[in-house]
Amino acid sequence: MTGTKNILNANVSRRAALQGGAGVLAGALAPGGLILSARAADNPALGTYPEGSSGPSVFVGISVPRTGTYAAAGEDLIKGYQLAIEHLNDGSELMQKISPNIKKGVLGKEVKYGIADSEAKPNTAVQNFGKFVSDNKAIMVTGSVSSAEAVANNKTADREKVIYLPGISGSNDTTGKDCARYSFRECFYGQTAAKALAPQLISTIGKNKKVAYLTPDYTYGHTVQKSMEEYLKDGGWTTATDQVSPLGTTDFSSYLLNVANSGADVVVNINFGRDAVLSVKQAKQFGILEKMTLAVPYNTPFLAKEVGADTMQGVLAATDYWWTLEEKFPLAKMFNDAFRAKYKSVPEWSANLAYMQIAMWADAIERAKSFYPPDVIKAYEAGAKVQSTVGEVYFRGADHQLVRPVVIERGKKPADMKGPDDYYEIVEVVPGAGLMQAPDAFGCKMGGYT
């Protein structure tokens, strides 16, 4: 680890401290053997290993926003996690179909979990992470909607030596310059969204068009905007304006007026969560949707439901998963059925992503045959293929990004809807391999395993 003798061990548990009589000074002088749990055969103690997995169950920490702009997506993530963990503990068929390695629980242990509200704030996310690790000895922490949370958790994961699986995180940086050895991302992101959507826009609308952007003012927004701009350039498209709004804006009138007067043919709305709902609703009010086509490179869960089919018709969006894919993919059907049975509603892509993250994690542990974090990480990095609800997927070792397809969908006319949730028609499922950037294109430099 480090060259100097690490006298004060960070992972002194409360119980150990009390039992060992360790107080401030005592802790300073005692040798590093304050961890009292038994050690596994070869592997040294690392993070919450082996404490977190020495009993009959293991603990997973779920940290998502339950309040604020991204709360709706957060709740959907929770549903996905809960369904997945339930299936995992029961040894359900769907899990087996995703990967035959998955059995009941992980390596025979039941999975327990806890949920904390991250408020979409990185500081709160870090606090939750810390609590899951110190209080519950979590062996894995998962969840995020904002990339800021995800990035903060990435760093914390590397520091705490506990695996972290982001939830929603659209910024290129999460597996780019802010990548982490202990973190693995399932969902699509700016680069893949743009590379999948841009050609579709060019072929649908034409070449040499003008585009206006509505960008939320943080990393996710800016990286997606840059990616879109880059790929639209291939069709000769130019940027008429980039309206950058702060997170949590409720009144987009100034930005929309600028967009309306920009002479653009297409408006690309990168806002996410409630910002997306409001900006789209208000765009309709300001008559922008009559003049321009709306494109949403990173679709917000429940956007169509909240703004209504009338507004969403003709809108081109890129997403991670849409429930009507069940017509194409049998695993999607199984997933939707289980979700509908439990929750009486259709899942959005956040629930799907949560489910897949749990499944792939279980698969990695089974392949590693161990809970020792570096073993699990190496199992992930081996890039074994698993079956997902959108076909075959695998992790890329260099940046820990799942190589997976991007779904392009178009809003249906209300008359064409076959049911109350039938908002989109699937235009194309673009295979992932062609969408990925070069592994070091976004500056990913991984840390060590220990």
Judged by CB under 8 A, the chain residues 173 through 202 that form the site for other proteins are 178
Q: Measured from the CB of residue 75, what is the shortest distance to other proteins in angstroms?
A: 9
State the chain's maximal CA–CA distance in angstroms.
Answer: 75
Report CA-CA distances (Å) from 315 to 184, 381, 410, 435, 446.
Answer: 31, 37, 5, 22, 38
List the one residue from 11, 37, 57, 96 that touches other proteins (CB under 8 A).
11
Q: Which of these ranges, 47-55, 257-265, 366-374, 402-410, lies near other proteins under the rule CB under 8 A?
A: 257-265
Report CA-CA distances (Å) from 101 to 63, 95, 142, 368.
Answer: 27, 9, 21, 10
List the one residue from 59, 184, 188, 255 that touches other proteins (CB under 8 A).
255
Q: What are phi and psi of 247, to 5 degrees?
A: -60, 135
List the one residue from 67, 203, 208, 238 that touches other proteins (CB under 8 A).
67
Place of tokens 């076909």: 391
Query: Within positions 284 to 303, which residues make up the interface with other proteins, using CB under 8 A?
Result: 285-287
Tokens of 139: 């062996």
Query: Within positions 380 to 409, which residues make up the interface with other proteins, using CB under 8 A?
Result: none
Residue type for 25, please? Answer: L
Q: What are phi and psi of 83, to 5 degrees?
A: -60, -45
List the one residue from 22, 139, 303, 331 that touches other proteins (CB under 8 A).
22
129-150 per-residue burial string, b: 16 or more CB within 10 A, e: under 16: bebbbbebbbbbbbbbbbbbbb
CB 446 within 8 A of CB 420: no
The secondary element (H helix, E strand) that includes residue 88 is: helix 71-90
Interaction between residue 121 and other proteins (CB under 8 A): yes
Interaction between residue 36 and other proteins (CB under 8 A): no
Q: Measured from the CB of residue 229, what is the shortest distance to other proteins in angstroms?
A: 17
Q: Measured from the CB of residue 326, what is the shortest distance to other proteins in angstroms?
A: 28
Query: Within positions 325 to 384, which residues make up the interface with other proteins, using CB under 8 A?
Result: none
Q: Measured from the CB of residue 168, what is the shortest distance to other proteins in angstroms?
A: 15
Please tell me the count of residues contacting other proteins according to CB under 8 A: 73
CA dist., res. 81 & res. 225, Å (int): 30
Q: What is the DSSP letter of 324?
A: G
List the one residue from 90, 93, 234, 251 that touches other proteins (CB under 8 A).
251
List the one residue from 47, 122, 170, 176 that touches other proteins (CB under 8 A).
122
CB 240 within 8 A of CB 262: yes
Nearer to other proteins, 278 or 408 (CB): 278
Q: Measured from the CB of residue 125, what is the shortest distance to other proteins in angstroms?
A: 9
Query: Within positions 141 to 170, which residues make up the interface with other proteins, using CB under 8 A?
Result: 146-148, 151-152, 154-156, 159
Q: Measured from the CB of residue 7, what is the shortest distance to other proteins in angstroms?
A: 6
CA dist., res. 59 & res. 70, Å (int): 25
Nearer to other proteins, 208 or 261 (CB): 261
Q: What is the DSSP letter of 300?
A: P
Interaction between residue 304 and other proteins (CB under 8 A): no
Omega before 50 within 30 of 0, i.e. cis = yes
Residue 18: strand, helix, or coil: helix
Interaction between residue 262 and other proteins (CB under 8 A): yes
How many Å is the Cα radius of gyration of the chain?
23
CB 167 within 8 A of CB 144: yes
Q: Measured from the CB of residue 38, what is the shortest distance to other proteins in angstroms?
A: 21
Q: Which of these ranges, 126-134, 188-196, 325-333, 361-369, lies near other proteins under the rule CB under 8 A?
A: 126-134
CB 325 within 8 A of CB 346: no
Nearer to other proteins, 71 or 379 (CB): 71
Nearer to other proteins, 71 or 187 (CB): 71
List the one residue from 46, 96, 110, 218 that touches other proteins (CB under 8 A).
218
Interaction between residue 241 and other proteins (CB under 8 A): yes
Report CA-CA distances (Å) from 62 to 166, 168, 271, 318, 389.
Answer: 10, 13, 24, 26, 22
CA dist., res. 217 & res. 24, Å (int): 44
Interaction between residue 278 and other proteins (CB under 8 A): yes
CB 60 within 8 A of CB 77: no
Interaction between residue 246 and other proteins (CB under 8 A): yes
Interaction between residue 105 and other proteins (CB under 8 A): no
List the one residue from 35, 40, 244, 436 that touches other proteins (CB under 8 A).
244
Interaction between residue 269 and other proteins (CB under 8 A): no
Q: Which of these ranges, 68-76, 102-110, 203-211, 310-318, lies near other proteins under the rule CB under 8 A?
A: 68-76
Tokens of 117: 């509200």
